[in-house]
Amino acid sequence: MDLSLALSFLGAAILLTLAPGPDILFVIAQSISQNSKAGIATACGLCTGLLVHITAAVLGVSAVIYASATAFAVVKYAGAAYLLYLAWLEFRDKSSEIGLSSKPQAAYGALYRRGILMSTLNPKVSLFFLALLPQFVDRSAGHISLQMLGLGFIFLVQALIIFSLVSLFANRFGGWLTRSKTIARKINVVQGLIFTVIALQIAFSKR
């Protein structure tokens, strides 16, 4: 793989990861409502889900999904429905006060699985890799699939690092918020609204 192409891809990947989107909002929401470990667990799940999309892009499965309006819609609305379900869980939570340590650490595994599902059920991610990876492949070097896998691995690693840093920052911000009992009682509502916004963003996005 050409080093200049790899570095160019890394720069583009960092900018795209930092851009406001469902994944980074999801990580921020978990970090604020619980703690940085919750955000990192979520980030690990999201990045595990990226493996599915990277593999799909390399094998051409993403192209099949994109070509089929029905398949694309099924995956897209399934993802939106799952996020609306998470929003409903937050809205119905009757906890009188949310603190950074109010939820059990056993929930980290659940957050990891949520991250995998959220990433996997977002078809826009597969289409993103399908469109982006080939642009940074050196066709003269051959081994196109291996180059795409390498680029996908670069994207995954930088995303995990950035999401983890965002989790630490968001946790500090969340700690400041939860010092106020009035704000702390509204954290579930805020998180529910974030899930709702992300769900609508996915549901009404166009290919």
Q: Is 186 helix (H, G, I), strand (E, B) or coil?
A: coil
- Please, which pLDDT band fits residue 191 given cuts at 50, 70 and 90? low
Q: Which bin fits 103, alpha (ψ -120 to 50), beta or left (φ > 0)? A: beta
Q: How far apart are CA 188 and CA 103, in angstroms?
A: 12
Confidence (pTM) = 0.69
What mean pLDDT comes out for the span 36-50? 93
Distance separating alpha carbons of residues 107 and 41, to the nearest angstrom: 9
Judged on CB neighbours under 10 Å (0-12, 13-18, 19+), 77 is middle
Q: What is the predicted pLDDT for the residue at 94?
A: 54
Question: Residue 45 above 80 pLDDT?
Answer: yes
Mean pLDDT across 165-178: 74
Percent with pLDDT over 70 in the chain? 69
* pLDDT digits 0-9 by tens, 48-93: 999 988 888 787 765 655 566 666 677 667 767 877 877 787 777 6
Q: Which helix (H) or strand (E) holds 21?
A: none
Question: What does the alpha-carbon distance between residue 7 and residue 175 come to, in Å, rounded to a whole number?
Answer: 36
Comparing C-alpha atoms, which of 203, 198, 189 is closest to residue 22?
198
pLDDT for residue 105 is more than 50: no
H-type alpha helices, the chain:
3-18, 22-33, 36-59, 61-67, 69-92, 107-120, 123-132, 144-177, 181-184, 187-203
Classify residue 136 by its DSSP letter. Answer: G
Cα 123 to Cα 116: distance, rounded to the nearest angstrom: 13
> Is pLDDT of 12 > 60?
yes
Mean pLDDT score, 33-38: 84
Tokens representing residue 66 in the block: 């994109």
Give the C-alpha separation, 203 to 155, whole Å.
Answer: 25
Cα distances (angstroms) measured from residue 67 to each of 50, 89, 121: 21, 34, 17
User: In this predicted model, what pLDDT tens digit does every residue of 112-165 receive, in sequence order?
Assistant: 998 998 888 876 777 777 777 777 777 677 677 788 888 899 999 999 999 999
Contact in structure between 25 and 202 (CB atoms under 8 Å) = no
Q: Residue written as tokens 């921020």?
A: 28
36-59 and 107-120 helices cross at what angle (nearest 10)? 30
